[in-house]
Structure 1
Amino acid sequence: MASFRIALYQPDIAGNTGTILRMAACLGVAVDIIEPAGFDLSDRNLRRAGMDYLEMAALTRHVDLDRFEEWRLADGRRLVLFSTRSGQAYTDFAFGGSDVLLFGRESAGVPDHVHGLADARLTIPMPGGGRSLNLALAVAMAAGEAMRQLG
């Protein structure tokens, strides 16, 4: 199991979350979901996207941001936020084994107070001019880079 983790802040789309859980199960990466989610975690779309990998996924649900922060700080983990509002490319960042890679809601990202909690803020450059990437794709790119760096 990889030592870094992926966290989803109040995800909106069950299919994206299912895809992320499937990818994380295959790569051995734990996932934290900061609730409330915009869907029921037993949603049919979540199960369809995650297929039979959901049982393999190392998933921790946090009832809210405060409980997530209590856990993260007690565990000594750095919070690395991915945001379109950052100027630092994720490929120019040195990931650590205790990092939590945080991704915001598909519809709205994360609120300003969550930005304030982050130890680092990173972006995936989009030289083609797009506004944002699909959440599952962005998580896969970030996880791949963290795994490449950490071996």
Structure 2
Amino acid sequence: MRLILFQPDQPGNFGAAIRLCACFGLSLEVVLPCGFPLTAKAARRAAMDYGHTGDIIRHANLNAAMKSLGGARLILLTTQGAQDINSFEFCANDALIFGRESEGAPDLLHGAADARVRIPMSGGARSLNLVNSASITLFEALRQTGGLPVEALRQTASLPG
């Protein structure tokens, strides 16, 4: 499973995404340019003690990211998705991509995606924070594909309902 941020523009969300990926044992991929300096120092500061900044994979542009997929599906998370994440069938090697916080997913991403999925929300709700969306989607995708860390499976097995 891969998590890709398309031209992120909020450094706080970037740091939270680093921590999210570290907790699930994934690398964070970023399609450049970012809306903030992505220097090694800035990445270390954003990661705090949650992840090694070597786990950040930088792609010069969307074409470079697409070439790196190696046959994996590119799954775009968007409020305009055709299917809910709970009814979409994820594959273990899917690449989940999220648009910019300030602008969402441009037409370029919509056109490149193999599938467009959404998180179901209450009527009238516009959207979730980027990393909240990534967390929900990544958990569901890993749950479906058996990719959750063993500790997480033990914890969810004891949840009610």
Same fold (TM over 0.5): yes
Which residue is equivalent to 1:31? 28
Task: Write out the 4+ residue segments of structure 1 that deviate beyond 6 Å after TM superposition.
Answer: none
Name the amino acid aligned to 1:106. E
Which residue is equivalent to 1:138? 133
CA RMSD, Structure 1 to Structure 2 (Å): 1.9
Which residue is equivalent to 2:90? 95
Name the amino acid aligned to 1:118. A
Which residue is equivalent to 1:42? 39
The question of 1:55 aligning with 2:52 is answered yes
- d(CA) in 1 for partners of 2:11 and 2:53? 17
Q: Tell me the CA shift for residue 58 of structure 1.
A: 2.3
Could you tell me which runs of 5 or more consecutive residues in structure 1 were left unpaired when the two chains were aligned. Answer: none
Per-residue Cα deviation, 1:91-129 (whole angstroms, up to 9, x for no partner): 111110110000000011121122011110000111152
Q: Is the 8 A contact 2:16 2:131 kept in 1?
A: yes
Q: Tell me the CA shift for residue 30 of structure 1.
A: 2.1
The question of 1:76 aligning with 2:75 is answered no
Superposition TM-score, scaled by structure 2 size:
0.83
- d(CA) in 2 for partners of 1:76 and 1:25? 24
Q: Is the 8 A contact 1:18 1:45 kept in 2?
A: no
Larger radius of gyration: 2
Instruction: Give percent identity, aligned residues only.
Output: 44
Could you say what secondary structure the match of 1:139 adopts? helix
The 1:132–1:57 alpha-carbon spacing in structure 2 relative to 1, beyond 3 Å, is farther
- d(CA) in 1 for partners of 2:54 and 2:118? 26
Q: Is the 8 A contact 2:31 2:65 kept in 1?
A: yes
Per-residue Cα deviation, 1:69-110 (whole angstroms, up to 9, x for no partner): 1222xx111000000111310111111011000000001112
- d(CA) in 2 for partners of 1:96 and 1:29? 15
Q: Is the 8 A contact 1:91 1:145 kept in 2?
A: yes
- d(CA) in 2 for partners of 1:34 and 1:133? 21
- d(CA) in 2 for partners of 1:57 and 1:124? 30
Q: Is the 8 A contact 2:77 2:117 kept in 1?
A: yes
Q: Given the alignment, which residue of 9, 30, 34 partners 2:6?
A: 9
Name the amino acid aligned to 2:24. L
Q: What is the number of residues matched between the two proteins?
A: 146
Which residue is equivalent to 1:21? 18
Per-residue Cα deviation, 1:16-63 (whole angstroms, up to 9, x for no partner): 011011111111122210000101123887655521123166221001
